[in-house]
Chains A and B, each alone.
Chain A
Amino acid sequence: GDSVTQMEGPVTLSEEAFLTINCTYTATGYPSLFWYVQYPGEGLQLLLKATKADDKGSNKGFEATYRKETTSFHLEKGSVQVSDSAVYFCALRDNQGGKLIFGQGTELSVKP
């Protein structure tokens, strides 16, 4: 079945460092891909999405490009802030019923 694999955390960075969180997927066809973020004490929020190959999703300085050849959707940010500390989840949307299939999450901690 469909699945998503993320790099394990926790990831600890200094403020203004470059961030990459790897995400690869296995799926039938070409599902839509998502990054969700969960800030401490808050619910899941959509961060960005891409619906087809070579699409780039972007939001709040974060970017991810849908790579069909490598079945990847890596999350990047050029300069992280303390406020980016959260758990990040990569997900794909099932082409049939529309349910989301999530990776295990990557905890990011940014130190001042």
Chain B
Amino acid sequence: DTGVSQNPRHKITKRGQNVTFRCDPISEHNRLYWYRQTLGQGPEFLTYFQNEAQLEKSRLLSDRFSAERPKGSFSTLEIQRTEQGDSAMYLCASSLDRGYEQYFGPGTRLTVT
């Protein structure tokens, strides 16, 4: 069991560009969560999947953000037309199911210039 992995670890992009992040959860974990963490703050929930179904989206997730989890395995988070306010650490977590511990990946740090 290699834990939750995220790629890339760092991404620098120019305002207006699109970016895509990938999260590979622990195998057999049904739930996958995305959070965003800005400097000096705690992580904030963005969205989560139960297998391939996206069951909840935060109001933070504007229409420029989209997430998928095809076949209930890895997940991608895409941000279109990035803005400087999107600069943050994007965290992925997975859990076996609803009441189980969430295991976090190392995060993808996005910098929008």
Q: B-contacting residues of A (Cβ < 8 Å)?
A: 4, 32, 36, 42-46, 49, 89, 91, 97-105
Complex contact B48–A98 (CB within 8 A): yes
B56 contacts which chain A residues (CB < 8 A)?
A: 97, 99
B90 sits at the interface (CB 8 A): no
B102 contacts which chain A residues (CB < 8 A)?
A: 46, 100
Complex contact A44–B104 (CB within 8 A): yes
Complex interface residues of chain B between 66 and 101 (CB less than 8 A to chain A):
91, 93, 95, 98-99, 101
A contacts with B: majority SS:
strand
Complex contact B40–A100 (CB within 8 A): no
The total of Cβ contacts below 8 Å across the A-B interface reads 51
Complex interface residues of chain B between 10 and 62 (CB less than 8 A to chain A):
31, 33, 35, 40-45, 48, 55-56
Complex contact B42–A104 (CB within 8 A): yes
Complex contact B41–A105 (CB within 8 A): yes
Known contacts A43-B105, A43-B106, A43-B107; A98/B98 CB under 8 A: yes
CA distance A44 to B93 in the complex (A): 10
Nearest-CB distance from A25 to chain B (Å)?
13
CA distance A91 to B91 in the complex (A): 15
Complex contact B104–A43 (CB within 8 A): yes
A42 contacts which chain B residues (CB < 8 A)?
A: 106
Provide 13 A-B residue pairs closer than 8 Å at the C-beta atoms, listed in order of the A residue. Answer: A36-B104, A42-B106, A44-B93, A46-B103, A49-B101, A89-B43, A97-B55, A98-B48, A99-B56, A100-B33, A103-B42, A104-B41, A105-B42
